[in-house]
Amino acid sequence: MQTELSKKLGVEHAIFGFTPFPAVAAAISRAGGFGVLGAVRYTAPDDLKRDLDWIEGHVEGMPYGLDVVMPAKKVEGVTEADVEAMIPQGHRQFIRDTLAKYGVPELAEGEASGWRITGWMEQVARTQLDVAFDYPIKLLANALGSPPADVVERAHDRGVLVAALAGSARHAVKHKEGGIDIVVAQGYEAGGHTGEIASMVLTPEVVEAVDPLPVLAAGGIGSGQQVAAALSLGAQGVWLGSIWLTTTEAELPSPRLIQKLLAAGSGDTVRSRALTGKPARQLRTEWTDAWDDTNGPGTLPMPLQGLLVADAVSRIQKYEVEPLLGTPVGQIVGRMNSERSVQAVFDDLTRGFERAVDRINRIAGRSGQ
C-alpha cells in the first residue's frame, strides 16, 4: 500500500496511527505504518524524554512522529490560575452534585488530576518541541491547524514534515497557506475534536482544495475496505486514532472502560462539549448526558470546561464509575469488538485492503490483473 507520501517517509503502508501510548506508536511503526505519539498529556519535559527514549529503543529504526496541540493564536501571560478564577461557582456545584449522586469518591490528598489543560498552552507545546527536536522524528502534527511560522521553519530546518488537522476545506486551505506539508482531513465520525462534515464528503473536498499537498483521510476508518475507500477519494494515506485504543499495547487506565469500548456500537458516541468545551466525539455516558441536558448549566468555552472537569474525569476513571466512564472515541468503536495486537490490526487492514482492491478490479472487469 504505497503512495508518494509513504515512499517519501519510507514506510511500507500508508497507514498513520495517532496514539497517546508510546508502546502503540512504536508497534505501528514496526508493523510498517507510521506511529505518531500524542504529546498533549506531557506537561513535564522529562516524561516526554523518557517515552521518546523508549520509542527509540523499540521502533527498530522505523520512522515515527509527534502530535502537539498548539494554538495558532498566542494568549500572552494567562496562567492556569487566571483561567480557574473565571469558572462560575454554579458549575462547580453542578459537578459536586453530579459526582455525589453517583457516589464518586474524592482523589487522595495531594493526588493530582491526570488530565490538565496546560498541554494545550503554547508555552507547554513549545517545551515539548524542544525535547522532541532532539529525536529523529520525521513528522510533526498539530491538532489545532498550522503551527506558528517559526515552528514550521524549525521543523523544516530539521527535515521534519509538518501536518495539520482540518475539519473543513476552508481550514485546510488556511493551513496550506501556513506552509505545512500534509493535511489530515478529519471527518465528523472521528474520535476527539471534530467538525461537522463526514469523511466521505470532506476527503475529496480537501484533496481538491489543497492540491498538490498530500492529504491523509481521518475519521471512521477501521477496516481495509475503508482504507481503500479513502485512497479512492484521493487521499495519500489514512490517519487512524480510535482503533488503537483496544489494542493489547494500549494503556487505558481502566479495564471497565476497555469493556465498555468493546461492547459499544457505532451509535454509542456523541459529539459533546463536556470534555473540553469544544465539540469532541466520545462515548456517550450519563456524564455527557448531564452536560448536554438543557436543564443543566451547560458547558463552558475552551479552556474553562477542560479545567473545570479535570479532577472529576480523573475520579471517574480512577474509581471506574461505570455509568459516567467514557473516553474520546469515534463511531468506528462499533468495529472494536476484541482486544488485538497492533500487528493483528495491521494484518486485518492490509488483507481487507487487498480484498477491496480485488473486488473493485472485478467490478471494473479487470479480474486477474
Ligand X SMILES: Cc1cc2nc3c(=O)[nH]c(=O)nc-3n(C[C@H](O)[C@H](O)[C@H](O)COP(=O)(O)O)c2cc1C
Residue ranges in contact with ligand X by CB under 6 A: 18, 38, 40, 67, 69, 141, 143, 165, 186, 189-192, 218-221, 239-243, 327-330, 332
**Cβ proximity to ligand X, 91 vs 165, nearer residue:** 165
CA pseudo-torsion sign 58, 63, 64, 65: positive
CB-nearer residue toward ligand X: 141 or 308: 141
Nearest-approach distance from CB 232 to ligand X, in angstroms: 18
Rounded Cα–Cα distance for residues 218 and 168 (Å): 12
Closest approach of ligand X to the CB of residue 265, in Å: 14
203 vs 327, which CB is nearer to ligand X?
327
Residue 240 CB, shortest distance to ligand X, in Å, is 4
> Which residue, 91 or 257, is less far from ligand X as judged by CB?
257
Half-sphere exposure of 328 (CA within 13 A, CB side): 22
CA angle at residue 326 from 142 to 330, to 5 degrees?
A: 50
Nearer to ligand X (CB atom), residue 269 or residue 299:
269
Which of 95, 216 has the CB closer to ligand X? 216
Q: Judge whether 8 and 16 are in contact, CB under 8 Å.
A: no
Rank residues 18 and 115 by Cβ distance to ligand X and give the closer one.
Answer: 18
191-200 burial: b if 16+ Cβ within 10 Å, else e = bbbbbebbbb
Identify the CA nearest to 1 among candidates 206, 231, 162, 281: 231
User: Are the beta carbons of 308 and 300 closer than 8 angstroms?
Assistant: yes
* Paired sense of beta strands 15-19 and 237-240, if any: parallel
CA-to-CA distance for 333 and 277, rounded, in angstroms? 22
Cβ proximity to ligand X: between 242 and 350 the closer is: 242
Instruction: Judge whether 218 and 239 are in contact, CB under 8 Å.
Output: yes
On whether the CB atoms of residues 271 and 288 are closer than 8 A, the answer is no
Least distance between ligand X and beta carbon 344 (Å): 17
Residue nearest to ligand X (CB): 241
Q: How far is the CB of 49 from ligand X (least distance, A)?
A: 19
Phi, psi at 192, each rounded to 5°? 85, -165
Q: How crowded is residue 312: how many other Cβ atoms within 10 Å of its Cβ?
A: 20
Query: In the bound complex, what is the minimum distance in angstroms from residue 367's beta carbon to ligand X?
Result: 32
Stated as kind and residue range, the H or E segment containing 35 is: strand 34-38
d(CA 200, CA 364): 21
Residue closer to ligand X by CB (options 40, 91) is 40
Minimum separation from the CB atom of position 210 to ligand X (A): 17
**What Rg do the C-alpha atoms of the chain give, in angstroms?**
20
State in angstroms the smallest separation of the CB of 39 from ligand X: 8
For the record, the C-alpha cell of 4 comes out as: 508518494
CB of 322 to ligand X, least distance (A): 19
